[in-house]
Amino acid sequence: MAFTIRVNGTKHIADVDPDTPLLWVLRDVLGMSGTKFGCGVALCGACTVHIDGVPARSCLTRIDSIGDKAITTIEAIGQTPIGSALRRAWLDLEVVQCGYCQSGQIMSAAALLASTPHPSDADIDAAMSGNVCRCGTYQRIRAAIHRAAV
């Protein structure tokens, strides 16, 4: 059946089964490949998006659960003040290596800063430990979040 979803302020129609995860709608139906597939079961955070500002693992978010809520992805987060500050900090501190997980890292970090403008290390651990980075950029992610929070 056809679902209308709002992604980064634009309405899209996807004619898919109701149980289809948002991840595959974004990537394969809408052609937005910034949101990454990593594990398929919410263990790695690579597919993190915001739904009405709340971080969500899009690999387990059914299309029929979204309704008219606003979906924000990595493609647009840089246009928000928090996203822009994170983007700058990520570049200043040279966080990325392979870069595959970083969409999800930045989306989780943006949600953290939205709810906790000046996070402690413990806050960062709590918010970011669901995001796996096999290149091991955690130390720089932590520093970049602190930097963006200033």
Partner 1 sequence: MSERSHAFSLDRRTFLKSGVAAGGGLVISLALPLAFRPALAQVSSSPAFAPNAFIRIDPQSVVTLVMPMVEMGQGIYTAMAMLLAEELEVGLEQVRLEHAPPDDALYANSVFQSQTTGDSASIRAFWVPLRQAGAVARTLLIQAASQQWNVDTSTCRAQRGEVLHTASSRRLAYGELVDAAASLPVPARDSVVLKRPEDFTLIGTPAKRLDAPDKVDGRTEFGIDVRLPGLKVAAIAISPVLGGKPRSVNEAAARAIKGVRQIVTIDEAVAVVADHMWAAKKGLKAAAIQWDDGPNAGVDSASIVRQLEEASKQPGVVARNEGDAEKALAGAAQRVDAIYQLPFLAHAAMEPMNCTVHWRNDACDIWVGTQVPTRTQAAVSEMTGLPKAAIQIHNHFLGGGFGRRLEHDGTLLAVKIARHVTGPVKIVWSREEDIRHDLYRPYYYDRLSAGLDAHGTPVAWTHRVSGSSILARWLPPAFQNGLDSDAVQVAIEQPYTFPNFHVDYVRVEPPGVLTTWWRGIGAAHNVFVVESFVDELAHAAKQDPLTYRKALMANPRAVGVLTLAAEKAEWGKPLPARWGRGISVQFAFGSYLSQVAEVEVASDGSIRVHRIVCAADCGIVINPDTIAAQVEGGTLFGLTAALHGSITLKNGRVEQGNFHDYRPIRMNEAPVVETHLVKSAESPGGFGEAPTAAVAPAVTNAIFAATGTRIRTLPVDTALLRL
Q: Which residues bind partner 1 (CB under 8 A)?
A: 16-17, 19-21, 24-25, 27-29, 31, 33-41, 43-44, 46, 73-75, 78, 87, 90-91, 94-103, 106, 124-126, 128-142
87 CB-near residues (< 8 Å, 6+ apart)? 77, 78, 106
> With respect to partner 1, which residue has the nearer C-beta, 34 or 69?
34
Q: In what order do the strands lie in the sheet with 70-72?
A: 10-15, 2-7, 70-72, 48-51, 54-57
> With respect to partner 1, which residue has the nearer C-beta, 114 or 132?
132
- β-partners of residue 5 are 12
> With respect to partner 1, which residue has the nearer C-beta, 17 or 52?
17
- β-partners of residue 2 are 15
- Smallest distance from partner 1 to CB 34, Å: 2
- Smallest distance from partner 1 to CB 40, Å: 6
**Pair 51, 63: CB distance under 8 Å:** no
> With respect to partner 1, which residue has the nearer C-beta, 4 or 79?
79
Q: What is the dihedral of CA 37, 38, 43, 44, to 10 degrees?
A: -100
- Smallest distance from partner 1 to CB 113, Å: 15
- Smallest distance from partner 1 to CB 82, Å: 14
